[in-house]
Amino acid sequence: MKTIEANFDGLVGPTHNYAGLAQGNVASKKNAEVPSNPRAAVLQGLAKAKALADLGLAQGLLPPHERPHIPSLKRLGFDGRDAEVLSKAQRDAPHLLAAAASASSMWTANAATVSPSADTRDGKLHFTPANLAINLHRAIEPETTARALRTIFADERRFVHHAPLTSTPALGDEGAANHTRLCSDYGAQGLELFVYGAAGDTEPKPQKFPARQSRAASEAVARLHALDPAYVHFAAQAPSAIDAGVFHNDVIAVGNREVLLFHQRAFIDSAAITKWARSKLSDFCAVEVLESEVSMEDAVGSYLFNSQLVWLPRADGLRSGQVLICSQECRDNPRVWQAILRIIGDPENPIEDVRVFDLQQSMRNGGGPACLRLRVVMNEAERAATNPKIWLDDALHSRLSTWASKHYRDHLIARDLADPHLLDESRHALDELTQILGLGSLYEFQR
């Protein structure tokens, strides 16, 4: 049975804005209060997803969440009709309103950790929604994410949905952004690399920013997914990387199939990772980029390592050819671009080509190409059991472009978040999206 890697990109929601909410995220802090363009944001994301579909890859979508999230504001004591809830929150606690209005669910690399059926003891595909415990605006995502995943991957004979881990920083879990699967073939037993930032008192800690992923959470997910311990490795992020703005490991490393592309300063012990991977995967290929070639600052500024690596089957069927899907910011930085050209020109690794995308709206909040997608390695039966309406093709792309142009604003600032019309517009957009993507009664306002 043929097994593929599908990408599920997060559709950017109608309230996409820059509120400076994200701890340890340099771009989010830098662009706080810059006006945003939600319509451009959703169209940029769709253009990237469409280009991958056009390359012949399986490309799905995950829906945005309802924002501003009135139930979260009500839980915090803002009462009355929706318009009153919004105006009271803006008057008394604008930071809480901003948190309840963030479109951060677009970064689906943080939606969940996913283990394909080839890796799990019960032969099923496992999902654990991330609790995103460190940041308030993200900690309100898991409930809806869990519902969305259950709706889209509904077949209980094939898919296992775990509850998000208890929401406490000691079990902070940010999902697939800190998890990489390596394999020689998607359908074969894979290696699962879990990367964490915090591990109790025994290991060095970042000084400036919090570590978002805890080792205890990564271990719990590996247990829940019934992975074979021989094929699992837990690796610590370098605390200095976190302090330089690497709030998720996918800001400084990316892997696909037999390739792991990473920065010299990404991990405390990269040699241990490569030794483990080599011992399990005969064709494992480590592509390390040295600080002297691309500095940590350039890596964080360009999001080079937040590129996607996608695998295109080649006619000769012998060796994989991979393509780097990078942001325009990589093209704009001459040192980073040189490094990319060197990597794709090097016959020692399977990365052969590069495609550049304008994702500026997402990038300004610290979300590059890889942040915008959740990978699900699936066999044909699992693919057939997935909600068929979420696969992106020309028709869906065109329908969603029209939908976005109809419902989304092209300018949004903090003051607008309390505008009851924005809430109405968002609900109308999501109502229509529910029909387009076949989402059942995903949203609370529909119940």
Out of 96, 109, 160, 289, the residue judged to bind ligand SUG by CB under 6 A: 109
Question: Does residue 116 touch ligand SUG according to CB under 6 A?
Answer: no
Query: Between residues 110 and 113, which has the closer beta carbon with respect to ligand SUG?
Result: 110
Question: Does residue 18 touch ligand SUG according to CB under 6 A?
Answer: yes
Distance CA 376, CA 304 (A): 22
Question: Does residue 145 touch ligand SUG according to CB under 6 A?
Answer: no
Out of 45, 62, 65, 107, the residue judged to bind ligand SUG by CB under 6 A: 107
Query: Between residues 215 and 364, which has the closer beta carbon with respect to ligand SUG?
Result: 364
What type of residue sits at position 324?
L
- Listed residue (251, 272, 278) closest to 262, CA to CA: 251
Distance CA 445, CA 427 (A): 8
Question: Does residue 14 touch ligand SUG according to CB under 6 A?
Answer: no
Are residues 258 and 320 in contact, defined by beta-carbon separation less than 8 angstroms? yes
The residue whose Cβ lies closest to ligand SUG is 22
Helical (H) or strand (E) element with 324: strand 321-327
Question: Does residue 281 touch ligand SUG according to CB under 6 A?
Answer: no
Rounded to a whole number of angstroms, the minimum distance from the CB of residue 192 to ligand SUG is 17
Question: Does residue 22 touch ligand SUG according to CB under 6 A?
Answer: yes
Of 227-256, binders to ligand SUG (CB under 6 A) are 247-248, 250-251
Q: Strand 112-115 to strand 58-62: parallel, antiparallel, or no bridges (unpaired)? A: unpaired
Structure tokens at 12: 């950017």
* Total binding residues toward ligand SUG, as defined by CB under 6 A: 22
Residues tagged active-site: 174, 248, 371
Question: Does residue 21 touch ligand SUG according to CB under 6 A?
Answer: yes
Are residues 340 and 354 in contact, defined by beta-carbon separation less than 8 angstroms? yes
Residue in this structure with the two tokens 């169209």, named with its chain if needed = 43
Q: Strand 3-10 to strand 373-379: parallel, antiparallel, or no bridges (unpaired)? A: antiparallel
Question: Does residue 28 touch ligand SUG according to CB under 6 A?
Answer: yes
Are residues 371 and 250 in contact, defined by beta-carbon separation less than 8 angstroms? yes
Question: Does residue 20 touch ligand SUG according to CB under 6 A?
Answer: yes
Question: Does residue 412 touch ligand SUG according to CB under 6 A?
Answer: no
Binding segment for ligand SUG among 12-20, 164-172, 238-246, 332-340 (CB under 6 A)?
A: 12-20
Binding segment for ligand SUG among 7-15, 49-57, 363-371, 418-426 (CB under 6 A)?
A: 363-371
Distance CA 440, CA 404 (A): 20
- Listed residue (98, 41, 71) closest to 401, CA to CA: 41
Distance CA 239, CA 245 (A): 10
**DSSP per residue, 52-83:** HHHTT-EEEEEPPPPSS-HHHHHHTT--SSHH
Question: Does residue 61 touch ligand SUG according to CB under 6 A?
Answer: no
Question: Does residue 11 touch ligand SUG according to CB under 6 A?
Answer: no
Rounded to a whole number of angstroms, the minimum distance from the CB of residue 177 to ligand SUG is 3
Out of 3, 7, 102, 120, the residue judged to bind ligand SUG by CB under 6 A: 102
Rounded to a whole number of angstroms, the minimum distance from the CB of residue 26 to ligand SUG is 10
Question: Does residue 266 touch ligand SUG according to CB under 6 A?
Answer: no
Query: Between residues 48 and 248, which has the closer beta carbon with respect to ligand SUG?
Result: 248
Distance CA 185, CA 4 (A): 9
Question: Does residue 104 touch ligand SUG according to CB under 6 A?
Answer: yes
Query: For the chain, how many residues are written?
Result: 447
Question: Does residue 25 touch ligand SUG according to CB under 6 A?
Answer: yes
Tell how far CA 232 is from the center of its chain: 21
Give residues with Cβ within 8 angstroms of 23, minimum separation 6.
134, 135, 209, 210, 212, 247
Query: Between residues 20 and 321, which has the closer beta carbon with respect to ligand SUG?
Result: 20
Q: Strand 112-115 to strand 373-379: parallel, antiparallel, or no bridges (unpaired)? A: unpaired
User: Given the rule CB under 6 A, which residues bind ligand SUG?
Assistant: 18-22, 25, 28, 102, 104, 107, 109-110, 138, 177, 247-248, 250-251, 365-367, 371
